[in-house]
Amino acid sequence: MREPGLFTAKESVSIRDSYKALDNCTFLNTAGMAPLPAESCEAMSSLLDDLNRSAYLNMKLWGEKITTARRLSAEIVGASEREIAFVRNTSEGVSIVASGMRWSEGDEIIISDLEFPSNVYPWLNLRRLGVEVRTIKSEGGRVTVDSIRAAVTRRTRLVAISSVQYLSGYMADLSSLGQMARERGFRLFVDAIQSLGVIPMDAKGCGVDFLSSGGFKWLCGPLGTGIFFCDVNRLDELDLTRVGWNTVQDSFDYSTIDYTIRDDAQRFEEGSPNLVGICGLLESLKLVMSAGVDRNRAHVIGLTDMLVDGLLGKGCKILSPRGDGEKSGIVNFAPREPDGVERLMERFGKEGIIVMKRGSGIRVSPHYYNTPEDIDRLLETI
């Protein structure tokens, strides 16, 4: 009998039909890069064929696909379409904010020691302007609201945090952080690449100011695609450091030069779009959202709970926080033996079980296409 919240066997078969790569291995590395679904591959291939055969004849259809992708992106972020821009990756969204905010010498940015480099280097680059980047020390894989509150000062301009930490799997309390941001007057930036698509996001409701996420992990989209959210009330707080023909309001009126900037987040899409990538992302979004992100979360939490129970039964140490409100689709664990990680990774590789060594442990990250049988196979290999 399956645990409550898991997809039924019939639902799982339907989902896995889109992921041919899963026929060849036990894939448990969504936090690294998800396999690309067949529908996304077919959409991109079809568009390339269309370009080859008919050139500009189907431009209207292409525009409709971008509009639909933007609508679904807004829905999965918890925002309006006016607040969504397409980017190449998480780093690009971080850099839009880092380079666009009007910094003064002595301003502070708060990050943690768990952040992935994408959410570190763009902020460190601001040291050249006299901006201080303060790093909070995590405790047990957690970056708590209290630790951030204690670090905030009157000079704090921005707090940057991942919705889910890539190493420990800790899920941040964005609602409390958003409330603190309003009370203390700083801006809240969220790197959402490790949660968007598997954990429901309500950026507007939580008080998030800016959010960025690449499309190739839990959104199951192609590399080179991503989603950037900017609260409509923060648009004019970001100076444009890259400007092109599509920055302005009437961008398709090429013969009239009128530098009236768009009044929505599309101002950050300064040139021609990654049409092929966005079409692939659109199909991925349809699939990921088909059962509802709430269902995805319930399924994945069910799988990771099974995994943790099994790992504990084998004497492994769980390195990821697993309390209520902090667990995610990422579980980092280590065998008790000092050299157990390397030996186990070698064994997994031979058995075609795809996981990743991260920090001092092994990171396992199942998604909605995984099944209890995948978890059982991993546990049996230990």
Residue whose C-alpha is closest to residue 362's, from 381, 138, 136: 381
Pairing of strands 26-27, 353-354: parallel
Label residue 165 by pLDDT band (50, 70, 90).
very high
Q: 222 and 74 in one domain?
A: yes
33 in any annotated domain: no
Dihedral (C-alpha) 150, 155, 160, 165: value to the nearest 10 degrees?
Answer: -20
34 in any annotated domain: no
pLDDT one-digit tens code per residue, 130-140:
999 999 999 99
d(CA 289, CA 295): 9
Average pLDDT over residues 335-342: 90
**Given a cut of 70, is residue 3 above it in pLDDT?**
no
- Tokens coding 44: 């991109």
Looking up residue 343, the CATH number of its domain turns out to be: 3.90.1150.10
Average pLDDT over residues 111-134: 98
d(CA 319, CA 50): 49
Label residue 120 by pLDDT band (50, 70, 90).
very high
pLDDT one-digit tens code per residue, 6-34:
999 999 999 999 999 999 999 999 999 99
2 in any annotated domain: no
Average pLDDT over residues 279-295: 97
**Given a cut of 50, is residue 65 above it in pLDDT?**
yes
d(CA 41, CA 62): 16
Average pLDDT over residues 211-232: 98
Q: 89 and 206 in one domain?
A: yes
Q: 123 and 262 in one domain?
A: yes
C-alpha of 227 from chain center: 9
Q: 224 and 108 in one domain?
A: yes
Average pLDDT over residues 95-114: 98
Residue whose C-alpha is closest to residue 160's, from 96, 81, 220: 96
Average pLDDT over residues 94-99: 98
109 in any annotated domain: yes
Quick one: pLDDT at residue 4?
63
Compute how many other C-beta atoms are within 10 angstroms of the C-beta atom of residue 105: 8
**Given a cut of 90, is residue 76 above it in pLDDT?**
yes
Q: 74 and 24 in one domain?
A: no
| Helical residues (DSSP H) of the chain, grouped into ranges | 9-16, 38-54, 59-77, 90-100, 121-124, 145-151, 174-184, 203-206, 275-289, 293-313, 340-351, 372-381
54 in any annotated domain: yes
What is the count of structural domains for the chain? 2
39 in any annotated domain: no
Quick one: pLDDT at residue 54?
79
DSSP summary character for residue 44: H
244 in any annotated domain: yes
**Given a cut of 70, is residue 1 above it in pLDDT?**
no
**Given a cut of 70, is residue 143 above it in pLDDT?**
yes
Q: 279 and 327 in one domain?
A: no
Q: 275 and 359 in one domain?
A: no
Q: 239 and 114 in one domain?
A: yes
Quick one: pLDDT at residue 83?
98
Task: Name the domain boundary from 289, 320, 339.
Answer: 289
Average pLDDT over residues 338-361: 95
Task: Name the domain boundary from 289, 318, 343.
Answer: 289
Q: Give the C-alpha distances (Å, rounded to integers) separating 286 from 72, 134, 292.
A: 8, 39, 10
d(CA 364, CA 366): 7
Q: 16 and 49 in one domain?
A: no
Quick one: pLDDT at residue 61?
84
Q: 52 and 192 in one domain?
A: yes
Looking up residue 211, the CATH number of its domain turns out to be: 3.40.640.10
Q: 296 and 283 in one domain?
A: no
85 in any annotated domain: yes
* Residue 235 belongs to domain spanning: 44-289
Q: 51 and 19 in one domain?
A: no
Residues 6+ apart with CB under 8 A from 322: 308, 331
Task: Name the domain boundary from 236, 257, 289.
Answer: 289
